Amino acid sequence: MTEIQAPHIDYEALSPLMALVGGSILVLMVGLLRARFVRHTLVPALTAATLLTAIGLTIWIWEPGEQTPIIEGSLTVDTLALALSMLFYVAGLVCVALSLRALAAREAGHGEYYALLLGSITGMVVLAQASDLITLFVGIELLSIPLYVLCATELRRATSLEAGLKYLVIGSVGSATLLYGLALVYGASGAMQFEAIAAAIGSDELPVTDPLLLTGIGLAATGLAFKASVAPFHQWTPDVYQGAPTPITTFMAVATKAAAFAIFLRLFGHALGDAQPDWGPALAVLAAVTIVIGNVGAIAQRSLKRLLAWSSVAQAGYLLAGVVVGTTLGLQATAFYLAVYLLMNVAAFAVIVARERRSEHGDDLASLDNLGRSEPWLAWPMTIAMLSLAGFPATAGFIGKFYLIDASVAGDYTWLGIAIVVGSVISLAYYLRVVAVMWMGSYEIEWPTLPRRRVRPVAGWSPEASARAQPEVALVAVLFAAATILFGIWPDPIFDAARDVGTALSGLG
């Protein structure tokens, strides 16, 4: 009689994940109580508590260089996963703060809204820890499906529903492509585990030029490119970012991007690491194209959310440069930039949330008109975020770009470093316009004479919302802007974390 061996589970390493799942169930259940206090206070508080618990547990199990396989090696807890999980939790906390007075949470039902948010974060954490192809796919679906719903939570606004549907359709295409690619990789290598795939590639049976393997890599890269909004698979980004409720956009912009890059790093840096000479140049071209398309696309945008969507496409290009080189330095630079990216984008989006609720212009650029005079506490964070995104020194964005260029050059992709720089130059055209609108008085903004779609501003504005103060939104904006400056001058803490992350994928050069 054969005994069925239950898989060994390291509960310690699994604890943040368990906290998240438990928290989301709890939030969903508590949300069923319809008392106002429960919906408006208790549910968000529980969500925040869940995330804080997860953060605490993550710090507790943080151990540089250690790789703990859990559940028979389908998940690996290492510093890469933990560091990126931290980004997800922080993005989640920000989303909770921004959602407190949002229309979306009210319309969708608070319990469901926050439970979905936690569910999506769970998916991201699974994805970041995934170390075989099946878990990877489970993670990606678990993160995506709640997001499809969350995008459509402003039920009475057509664009929100449109965003949800669009994201669902495109996301599914991306998932399908990814799945197909993973199947081919499995077919070629005969292994599910990243470790085993890495061992198989380059061996005598599976040369790196194997067509099946290469097709698989190509399709997997395409699927991930959809998630990370890498050009030319980025078209959904502006529409979805604009249509989704802004707190959700914030969350998607920073957390989904980080999750997509987590798996980019793990799959390409670890499992397919030996095939780097094959996929490196292809991804490098994608990165360069993404940088150009994202930055050029942003120039003609009036809607701030669309502008940041295009900017996030461009940033995906910068981040991809760190993946392309396939070195520890590249991994560190990508992790570093992801953290920086979170800081500056959250600051910018928080200001948009605040303005959207008060100004009749919604998320149009005009909503920032003369903000430097009327609300300097919002204008400063936005200014800092824009300057940081453009890569001005004394902001974290400068050091992040410096690091990425450093990694590109060291990885023999000097031209990609120059592409990053050229992209930054183009980006000045739109980042500076935002700054000019806030500080340089009312003036007729010059628009490039492109045939552009007339996009109506998002109607998040409501009289009740404008009547209420929203200190938490301003606080988020100020806090993250201050961090952007602080880490621009004293980046050591992020560097320390990035160095720990660098120990995670040992197979890199």
Radius of gyration of the chain (CA): 22
Q: What is the DSSP letter of 267?
A: I
Among 235, 465, 495, 507, contact with other proteins (rule: CB under 8 A): 495
Distance from C-alpha of 298 to C-alpha of 310, rounded to nearest angstrom? 5
Contact 333/404 with Cβ under 8 angstroms?
yes
Backbone angles phi and psi of 153, in degrees to 5: -80, -15
Look at the block and give the residue holding tokens 């770009």. Answer: 401
Using CB under 8 A as the binding rule, whether residue 428 contacts other proteins is answered as yes
Nearer to other proteins, 238 or 417 (CB): 417
> Residue 31: what residue type?
G
Report in angstroms the alpha-carbon separations of 312 from 130, 292, 318, 452: 25, 12, 10, 20
**Among 385, 364, 335, 346, which residue's Cα sits nearest to residue 501?**
335
CA-to-CA separations, 387 to 82, 192, 321, 347, in angstroms, rounded: 29, 44, 21, 12
Q: How many residues bind other proteins (CB under 8 A)?
A: 41
Candidates 263-271, 294-302, 354-362, 441-449; binding stretch for other proteins (CB under 8 A): 441-449
How many other C-beta atoms lie within 10 A of the C-beta of residue 212? 14
Residue from the set 317, 391, 397, 460 that interacts with other proteins by CB under 8 A: 391
By residue count, the chain amounts to 509
Q: How far apart are CA 200 and CA 194, in angstroms?
A: 10
Q: Which of 410, 459, 465, 482 binds other proteins (CB under 8 A)?
A: 410
Q: From the CB of 215, what's the least distance to other proteins, in Å?
A: 34
Phi, psi of 70 (to 5 degrees): -125, 155
Q: Which one of 36-44, 113-121, 174-182, 398-406 is the stretch in contact with other proteins (CB under 8 A)?
A: 398-406
In the shown chain, the binding pattern of residues 171 to 210 toward other proteins, with x for contact by CB under 8 A and - for none, equals ----------------------------------------
Tell me how far apart the alpha carbons of residues 233 and 254 are, in angstroms, rounded to a whole number: 18
Report the 10 Å Cβ neighbour count for 373.
11
Query: Of residues 2, 4, 156, 446, which one binds other proteins by CB under 8 A?
Result: 446
Q: Which residues of 154-193 are buried (b: 16+ CB within 10 A; e: fewer)?
A: beebebbbbbbebbbebbeebbebbbbbbebbbebbebbb
420 touches other proteins by CB under 8 A: yes
Q: Residue 482, interface with other proteins (CB under 8 A)?
A: no
Give the separation between CA 243 and CA 129, rounded to whole angstroms: 30
Choose the binding region for other proteins from 21-29, 157-165, 355-363, 427-435 (rule: CB under 8 A). Answer: 427-435
Please report whether residue 29 would count as binding other proteins according to CB under 8 A.
Answer: no
Our finding on whether 509 is near other proteins (CB under 8 A) is no
Residue 381 found at the interface with other proteins (CB under 8 A): no
Decide: is 405 part of the binding site for other proteins (CB under 8 A): yes
Cβ proximity to other proteins, 282 vs 394, nearer residue:
394
- Does 487 help bind other proteins (rule: CB under 8 A)? no
Binding of residue 399 to other proteins (CB under 8 A): yes
Nearer to other proteins, 91 or 437 (CB): 437
Which residue among 425, 468, 493, 506 contacts other proteins (CB under 8 A)? 425
CA distance 453 to 275: 42
Out of 38, 48, 409, 482, the residue judged to bind other proteins by CB under 8 A:
409
Nearer to other proteins, 14 or 343 (CB): 343
**By CB under 8 A, residue 292 contacts other proteins:** no
Task: Return the number of the residue (464 or 492) whose C-beta is nearest other proteins.
Answer: 492
3-state secondary structure of 75: strand
Contact between 227 and 167 (Cβ < 8 Å): no
Among 424, 470, 484, 503, binds other proteins (CB under 8 A): 424
Interface contacts to other proteins, rule CB under 8 A: 372-373, 387, 390-394, 398-399, 401-403, 405-406, 409-410, 414, 417-418, 420-422, 424-425, 428-429, 432-433, 435-436, 439-441, 443, 446, 491-492, 495, 498-499
